[in-house]
Amino acid sequence: MISTAFLVLHVGAGALALASGLTLMVLPGKGNDRHRRIGRVFGWSMAVSLAASVVLALVNFSSFLLAIAGFSAYLLAAGWRAARRRKAEPGMADRLIAGLMLGLALVMIVAGLTGAVGGAANVVMPVFGLIGGALACQDLMEVSRVGPPRIARHLSRMMGALIGTITAALVVNGPTLGLPPIATWLVPTVLVVPAIIWWNVRLRRVAAGRG
C-alpha cells in the first residue's frame, strides 16, 4: 500500500516535471516572470518526484535507483544554486553539493565497471557517473559565476535534471513502447546533451561579445 501511494506520487510529480521542463525548453524569454513561475513548478515537482523515488528505492531496495536519484538531486540543487547565487566564488553549499556528487560519481563508476549492478546499469552507471563527476569538477574549479556563465551553469544543470525525468518516464514506459533497456536509459542523454552544449556555446559567445 505504501509503495503504491509513493509510486503514484512519483509518477504524477515526474509527469508534471517533464511537462514543465519541456515547456521551459521551447518557450522564448528565458529569465522573465513566466520562466521563473514555470521553473518553480519544475523544481518543486522534481523534488517531490525524487523524494518519492528514494522511498521506493529503499522499500524495494535498489542501489541503482538510489544512485540515479542522487545524480538527479545534485543537478537540481546545483541548478537552483546557480539561479539564486550571484557571487563569483562558489559558496560552502556549492562545494558541499559538488563534493557529494564527486563521491557518488566514484561509486557509480566503480559499481558499473566491476559488475556490482547488472543489465543495462553496467553501462548507465559509469556514463552518468562520468557526467556527474565532470559537472561537479566544473562547479569546484570554474570561478566565473556571474553573467552568461552563471546562466549557462543554471541551464546545464536544470536540463540535466530534465534528462533524469525523461529517463525515468522511459524506464517506466519503455517495455510498453518496445524499447530495449539500454535505449530507455541513454536516449534522453543523447537527445538533450546537444541542447545543453548549444546553450553553453551561445552564452559563451554572448559573454565574449560575439552574438
In the predicted model, what is the mean pLDDT of residues 1-24? Answer: 80
User: What are the pLDDT digits (tens) for 110-165?
Assistant: 998 888 887 767 877 888 899 889 989 988 887 655 666 777 778 888 888 877 77
> Is the Cβ–Cβ distance between 89 and 145 less than 8 Å?
yes
Work out the number of other CB atoms within 10 angstroms of the CB of residue 158. Answer: 24
pLDDT recorded at residue 97: 92
> Is the Cβ–Cβ distance between 163 and 189 less than 8 Å?
yes
pLDDT recorded at residue 104: 95
pLDDT recorded at residue 103: 96
pLDDT recorded at residue 108: 93
Q: How far apart are CA 158 and CA 38, in angstroms?
A: 12
pLDDT recorded at residue 143: 60
pLDDT band per the 50, 70, 90 thresholds, residue 206:
low
Q: Is the pLDDT of residue 74 over 60?
A: yes
pLDDT recorded at residue 11: 80
pLDDT band per the 50, 70, 90 thresholds, residue 88:
low
Q: Is the pLDDT of residue 207 over 80?
A: no
pLDDT band per the 50, 70, 90 thresholds, residue 173:
low
The whole-model pTM stands at 0.79
Beta carbons within 8 Å of 98's beta carbon, 6+ residues apart: 78, 90, 136, 137, 139, 140
Q: Which residues of 78-115 are buried (b: 16+ CB within 10 A; e: fewer)?
A: bbbbbbebeeeebeeebeebbeebbebbebbbebbeee
More confident residue, 113 or 89: 113
Strand ranges, E, within the chain: none
CA 182 to chain centre: 18
Q: Among residues of the chain, what percentage have pLDDT more than 90?
A: 12
pLDDT recorded at residue 172: 63
Helix, strand or coil for residue 87? coil
Per-domain residue ranges of the chain = 1-88+146-209
In the predicted model, what is the mean pLDDT of residues 59-67? Answer: 82
pLDDT recorded at residue 210: 52
